[in-house]
Structure 1
Amino acid sequence: MESTKSSAPSSKWTDGFEHAVVHIAVVVPPKSTSEQLPLRLLFASVWLLASGRQATSRPLKPYIKRFNKDGAIAVDRIVMTVDEAIQWYRTSSEELHTPVPLDGFRSASDGKPLSACRLSDFPSWPVLGVPMESEDIAQKSERSTIPFRNLGIIRYSRRISESQGWPSFLDTAGRSKQCEEALQFLEHHMHVDFREYPEYLGGMVLAVPDCDVHSVRQFVDPKEDGSESLYFHVKPHPSRKLQGLSLTVMEGQQGMLTSFDKIPVPEDGLVVIERPSPIHSSGLVLTHIERGVLLQTPIRTFLRQMNMRTEVIERRVKISAPETDKKKSPVTEYFSDKKTLASSQTFGDAPNATDAFKRLLDAKNERLLNYSAKLYDQKWFTADQRKEALKHIRDKLKQANLSIFIADPYFSANQISQYLFAIERDDVKIQILTSSSAFKKIKVSEAGPESDNEAPLDTHQALLRNLATFQASHRNSIQIKVANTENSLFHDRFIAVDNRVWMIGSSLNSIGIRPTLAMRIPHGEKILTHLIDLYNNAVPLKDFKIPKGELKKSCAHCGRAMVDEKEAQILQGAKTHGAQGTQDVDND
């Protein structure tokens, strides 16, 4: 529950601070409303100013971004005393007002009621935390949980609001031009990208630099005899002393932890560790006897070799090309630089150039690739793996507990028997989006050698008939829609099982016949939202009319009932036994 307590925190982490700067963004309601609504907290950050830092001046007036009749966003910067700033930060959401500055009170904007949702503390107040950084020095893996891109010895408190709705110009999906302008405005003035950190909307952050420590640097010093020295330099703020600090140093070699030492930090801040051989990688944790953890960096490998390439642009070429293959397509233009390699240099020496070391690296990289492929369920099917591909898709559908969504522009009658009978639960909701492409006219030869032996049935009627056959033995809610307008057409193929989304390179009618890839989408929820929009704009199968001249003959099996009476009895018996226990059924 939200704490309404605004007691002053312990002086152990406010000692040495006099001022704080509050950056605050609020949503200004539109003036057209019948009653005057209060300002609404969008985001606020409270930064304590370390010793020697000069307090910034307040802008002459708030920065404002207006959005026609939908309201506006206002951003202000206010200087307060440390105690008043923390007391304001701890105010309960029911009693929250816009902050009151140390000097220069503005009656039009300061001390005004501020609407906010209930706020929760992470970590629990009055504990302060430091970001747990990634092992990847290039930051290609998960980003920090703190939205700021600053460097320094800073600890944080966060107050995250409950879920709430926002005006259309604050849709973090960024679908509209207004939303993009709003997010760019906030990023410029609040230094937070809310597209990447939407959980901070409606919340607050308190940032507390360490009162003594300014920064920590680490580096190695190679010696001629092959030994190395590992240096850590703890730098204090001006006029501050280093006392009560400890440095926990971790070292590793190729995924193996080789040392773990806790060393007191001397007054000059310089810690030196001597090693008889090269130091491969190191990390640290800096702690204070009273203030706790001040900094954490994971074990990272030292950069020992750098390659530099210099290229010369000889000429720039302008290319004009049609945007599409249509006769009256508009023209698109772009530039291409023709480059020539001028020089290539290598600085430093590789830490280990042996074949054994290369085998270690190659094996590690291969495991990482295999793990990523497994994580995203990457599966490649060759041209002779139709049975394996069918089983792969069926296994996905069998796992469904809530919903199945299929988007395939060529989904037709055969796919019902090939896949949908694998669904094991009658309470699974099924939605299928096909397209008018599934019903276009094709050559008789494409229908297969058996097509001349049976009366042809158009694929629209075949799909309706096979759908009815499925519904006769299943109680699932199922609906098939056909995309046939500019607002509903699509190209790629997807299946979604309980909101987990896979992309398939070819349609379900040919997967495993031609080489193709199936792979789970890491962030499929956003794609599924767009697909549902296409589905909502499509036409129900029963209402779809095939355009004249585009009647497509079905193959020999599309119009045939997929489950005869005997098979239906076996299937029904299996369902009956399934309610009491499990039973193995061999239909081969």
Structure 2
Amino acid sequence: MESNESSNPYSKLTDGFEHAVVHIAVVVPPRSTSKRPPLRLLFASVWLLASGRQAPLRPAKPYVKKFKEEGAIAVDRIVMTAEEAIRWYRTASDELGTPIPLSDARKDSDGVPLSAGRLSDFPTWPVLGVPLESDDITLNSERPSIPFRNLGIIRYSRRISDNQEWPSFLDQDGQSKHCQEAFKFLEHHMHVDFREYPEYIGGMALAVPDRDVHSVRHFIDPKEDGSESLYIHLKPHPGRKLKGLSLASMEGQEGILTSFDTVPVPEDGLVVIERPSSIHGSGLVLTHTERGVLLQTPMRQFLRQMNTRIDVVEQRIKVSVPETDKKKSAVDEYVTDKKTLASSQTLGKAPNTTSAFQRLLDAKNERLLNHSAKVYEQMWFTADQRKEALEHIRKKFKHAHSSIFIADPYFSANQILQYLLAIERDVIKIQILTSSSAFKQTNEATTKTGIDSEATQNTHQKLLENLAIFQGSHKNNIEIKVANTENSLFHDRFIAIDGRVWMIGSSLNSIGIRPTLTMRIPHGEKILDHLLRLYNNALPLEDFKVPRKALKKL
């Protein structure tokens, strides 16, 4: 007779689990022909239910969000046995169908073919892993790689699909109403923000709670003599015992590792570590002899002091104000509160209030800020730093390899010679977006009498002449466009080099003359996409004509 191990290849994973719940979202294609295409896997998560967890009920019918001619999104929740759920999770992409529930199957939607992209395992199956947490307690520095918010003693497997094309309502950069509705619908029912975690679209995830450990508490007990006890308490699931567990505890003080202890977890789950002085920061790694890593927490400081503040709203004011300075502007309304401090209290005692400790904190924060400024290439040019600013921009153009994009509403003739002649590679594609403002003469002489029509026309002609000078010495593919309509006008100044985008506080024709800032945008790709849309709506320089009305007034 075949052993249970060989008949159930997932026995090591399902030991201690009876049921699993599958959350699945599919794209329902539009019925364009008499025969509708198969459903498409949008995302599925399989959660093994720990001992004591009650299996949820299946909805009376799937949750559906329709998008007219483009199709719909349908979400369902299905309960299966733990073994069948993992077996379904491991099904080959080209053999995948919608999961079949333990009971009350629906003939029209359960077990039907499911279209899916090729799925790859991260980590490699059958390895399960835990998310690496950030040492930033607010998680402001980076988000965990696992998209679910209810993190606990859980190990994960992920199947990520190849790139696929999706309907427009699943456009991650889409700003339309139906895009917002689609992602909010998915986040509500699937508990995943796919705009933040787009790599999970088209894929699957398996969540396996630890069969023994329910939770881990990590706290300290200060003593009157200045010593402290570090307590780490593991709580088991009902009816389970704590066996084969080890705990690696690490401690540190302001960036310096001071201790690293590995101890077995006793049956009662309580690990006590005594220290002769204050414990500044502590982290841990929990492992099992067979299941591997179960939990990782980075080194963090304990909360020892809390400041509370209570404000009382004395008056609520409704403000109505024009949205713009136009005479027939629409009205914008908002509400503001007048608050008064009612009480302020400090609870607990800070571990160290010395001037030396504050110096450590200040220096650490300064290094963090300096590092961020360096990463994003923050540069401040004071007045009378024109030469330094010119060289700074030229240096960036010299390092370009494939593309340069400039969006500056005042880019004009002189900027071609000031910057573009520094480009060293003929293969670089150059796109420049300027505006009709660049051709308006606003110097002191013309301000008194209005714009000089002839000078304005000469500015346009000079730009064409300098462009010809550049093309005479460079073979680059270069195009200049002029924004002069509502759907192409812009204000801010940008340069993009090989896809990396910098924002410039002033135009290239005056940078370094007055104080200004340049800084690389962390996620410049999205900004560049918007700028290219403006560029596509603008007029080629050769087709642009200075409007006669603009020549008569500033």
- 1:81-105, CA deviations, whole angstroms, 9 ceiling, x for partnerless residues? 1111111000011000000111001
TM-score (norm 2): 0.96
Look up the SS of the partner of 2:468 in the other structure.
helix
Partner residue in 2 for 1:583: none
Partner residue in 2 for 1:378: 378
Distance (Å, rounded) in 1 between the aligned partners of 2:92 and 2:456: 72
What does 1:524-543 correspond to in 2, within 5 Å?
A: 524-543=524-543
* Shift, 1:400, TM fit: 0.3
Partner residue in 1 for 2:327: 327
Worse overlay, 46-55 or 456-465: 456-465
What does 1:348-497 correspond to in 2, within 5 Å?
A: 348-443=348-443, 445=445, 458-497=458-497
Per the alignment, do residues 349 and 469 of structure 1 end up closer, same or farther by CA in structure 2, a change over 3 Å counting? same
Instruction: Indicate if the aligned counterparts of 1:442 and 1:552 stay in contact, CA closer than 8 A.
Output: no
Distance (Å, rounded) in 2 between the aligned partners of 1:552 and 1:511: 28
Letter matched to residue 132 of structure 1: L
* Shift, 1:303, TM fit: 1.1
Instruction: Indicate if the aligned counterparts of 1:13 and 1:210 stay in contact, CA closer than 8 A.
Output: no
Look up the SS of the partner of 1:550 in the other structure.
helix
What does 1:189-208 correspond to in 2, within 5 Å?
A: 189-208=189-208
- 1:79-131, CA deviations, whole angstroms, 9 ceiling, x for partnerless residues? 11111111100001100000011100110100000000000000000000000
Instruction: Indicate if the aligned counterparts of 1:493 and 1:503 stay in contact, CA closer than 8 A.
Output: yes
Partner residue in 1 for 2:148: 148
Letter matched to residue 522 of structure 1: P
* Shift, 1:443, TM fit: 4.3
Partner residue in 2 for 1:98: 98
Distance (Å, rounded) in 2 between the aligned partners of 1:83 and 1:376: 49
What does 1:244-323 correspond to in 2, within 5 Å?
A: 244-323=244-323
Look up the SS of the partner of 1:252 in the other structure.
strand
Look up the SS of the partner of 1:193 in the other structure.
coil
Distance (Å, rounded) in 2 between the aligned partners of 1:415 and 1:145: 44
* Shift, 1:456, TM fit: 8.7
Partner residue in 2 for 1:12: 12
Instruction: Indicate if the aligned counterparts of 2:63 and 2:76 stay in contact, CA closer than 8 A.
Output: yes
Instruction: Indicate if the aligned counterparts of 1:98 and 1:113 stay in contact, CA closer than 8 A.
Output: yes
Letter matched to residue 535 of structure 1: Y
- 1:364-390, CA deviations, whole angstroms, 9 ceiling, x for partnerless residues? 000000000000000001111111111
Q: Which runs of 5+ in 1 are unaligned?
A: 1-5, 554-588
Instruction: Indicate if the aligned counterparts of 2:457 and 2:546 stay in contact, CA closer than 8 A.
Output: no
Number of matched pairs: 543
Partner residue in 2 for 1:509: 509
* Shift, 1:14, TM fit: 2.1
Partner residue in 1 for 2:48: 48
Letter matched to residue 316 of structure 2: R
Partner residue in 1 for 2:25: 25
Instruction: Indicate if the aligned counterparts of 2:504 and 2:517 stay in contact, CA closer than 8 A.
Output: yes
* Shift, 1:551, TM fit: 4.5
* Shift, 1:457, TM fit: 6.2
Partner residue in 1 for 2:3: none
Letter matched to residue 44 of structure 1: A
Instruction: Indicate if the aligned counterparts of 1:8 and 1:86 stay in contact, CA closer than 8 A.
Output: no
Look up the SS of the partner of 1:458 in the other structure.
helix
Distance (Å, rounded) in 2 between the aligned partners of 1:228 and 1:456: 78
Look up the SS of the partner of 1:511 in the other structure.
coil
* Shift, 1:34, TM fit: 5.0
Distance (Å, rounded) in 2 between the aligned partners of 1:456 and 1:193: 51
Asked if 1:158 corresponds to 2:158, the answer is: yes
- 1:141-180, CA deviations, whole angstroms, 9 ceiling, x for partnerless residues? 1110000001310000000000000001111113110010
- 1:23-80, CA deviations, whole angstroms, 9 ceiling, x for partnerless residues? 0000001123354200000000000000111111111110111111110101001111
Letter matched to residue 354 of structure 2: T
Per the alignment, do residues 264 and 552 of structure 1 end up closer, same or farther by CA in structure 2, a change over 3 Å counting? farther
Per the alignment, do residues 60 and 15 of structure 1 end up closer, same or farther by CA in structure 2, a change over 3 Å counting? same
Look up the SS of the partner of 1:372 in the other structure.
helix
* Shift, 1:458, TM fit: 1.6
Per the alignment, do residues 437 and 290 of structure 1 end up closer, same or farther by CA in structure 2, a change over 3 Å counting? same
What does 1:65-76 correspond to in 2, within 5 Å?
A: 65-76=65-76
- The two structures, once aligned, show a CA RMSD in angstroms of 1.7
Per the alignment, do residues 338 and 86 of structure 1 end up closer, same or farther by CA in structure 2, a change over 3 Å counting? same
Instruction: Indicate if the aligned counterparts of 1:12 and 1:290 stay in contact, CA closer than 8 A.
Output: no
Per the alignment, do residues 47 and 132 of structure 1 end up closer, same or farther by CA in structure 2, a change over 3 Å counting? same
Per the alignment, do residues 50 and 472 of structure 1 end up closer, same or farther by CA in structure 2, a change over 3 Å counting? same
Worse overlay, 34-43 or 251-260: 34-43
Distance (Å, rounded) in 2 between the aligned partners of 1:196 and 1:370: 27
Letter matched to residue 403 of structure 1: S
Instruction: Indicate if the aligned counterparts of 1:499 and 1:528 stay in contact, CA closer than 8 A.
Output: yes
* Shift, 1:549, TM fit: 4.5
Partner residue in 1 for 2:37: 37
Instruction: Indicate if the aligned counterparts of 1:439 and 1:551 stay in contact, CA closer than 8 A.
Output: no
Instruction: Indicate if the aligned counterparts of 2:397 and 2:404 stay in contact, CA closer than 8 A.
Output: yes
Distance (Å, rounded) in 1 between the aligned partners of 2:528 and 2:287: 46
Letter matched to residue 285 of structure 1: V
* Shift, 1:185, TM fit: 0.5
Letter matched to residue 177 of structure 1: K
Partner residue in 2 for 1:568: none
Partner residue in 2 for 1:186: 186
TM-score (norm 1): 0.90
Instruction: Indicate if the aligned counterparts of 2:130 and 2:295 stay in contact, CA closer than 8 A.
Output: yes
Look up the SS of the partner of 2:12 in the other structure.
coil
Distance (Å, rounded) in 2 between the aligned partners of 1:407 and 1:69: 37
Distance (Å, rounded) in 1 between the aligned partners of 2:87 and 2:21: 13
Instruction: Indicate if the aligned counterparts of 2:456 and 2:551 stay in contact, CA closer than 8 A.
Output: no
Worse overlay, 541-550 or 94-103: 541-550
Distance (Å, rounded) in 2 between the aligned partners of 1:222 and 1:385: 56
Distance (Å, rounded) in 2 between the aligned partners of 1:353 and 1:39: 62
Instruction: Indicate if the aligned counterparts of 2:413 and 2:466 stay in contact, CA closer than 8 A.
Output: yes
- 1:501-559, CA deviations, whole angstroms, 9 ceiling, x for partnerless residues? 00001000000001110000000000000000000000000000101143599xxxxxx
Partner residue in 2 for 1:339: 339
Partner residue in 2 for 1:130: 130
Letter matched to residue 527 of structure 1: I
Letter matched to residue 213 of structure 2: V
Per the alignment, do residues 456 and 18 of structure 1 end up closer, same or farther by CA in structure 2, a change over 3 Å counting? closer
* Shift, 1:336, TM fit: 0.9
Asked if 1:547 corresponds to 2:525, the answer is: no
Distance (Å, rounded) in 2 between the aligned partners of 1:33 and 1:202: 24
* Shift, 1:266, TM fit: 0.3
Look up the SS of the partner of 1:12 in the other structure.
helix
Q: Could you list the runs of 4 or more consecutive aligned residues of structure 1 that deviate by over 4 angstroms after TM superposition? A: 6-10, 454-457
Letter matched to residue 435 of structure 1: S
Per the alignment, do residues 511 and 443 of structure 1 end up closer, same or farther by CA in structure 2, a change over 3 Å counting? closer
- 1:195-217, CA deviations, whole angstroms, 9 ceiling, x for partnerless residues? 10000000000000000000101
* Shift, 1:440, TM fit: 2.0
Letter matched to residue 382 of structure 1: T
Distance (Å, rounded) in 2 between the aligned partners of 1:144 and 1:248: 21
Per the alignment, do residues 417 and 267 of structure 1 end up closer, same or farther by CA in structure 2, a change over 3 Å counting? same
Instruction: Indicate if the aligned counterparts of 1:157 and 1:207 stay in contact, CA closer than 8 A.
Output: yes
Per the alignment, do residues 59 and 457 of structure 1 end up closer, same or farther by CA in structure 2, a change over 3 Å counting? closer
Distance (Å, rounded) in 2 between the aligned partners of 1:69 and 1:516: 49
What does 1:200-219 correspond to in 2, within 5 Å?
A: 200-219=200-219
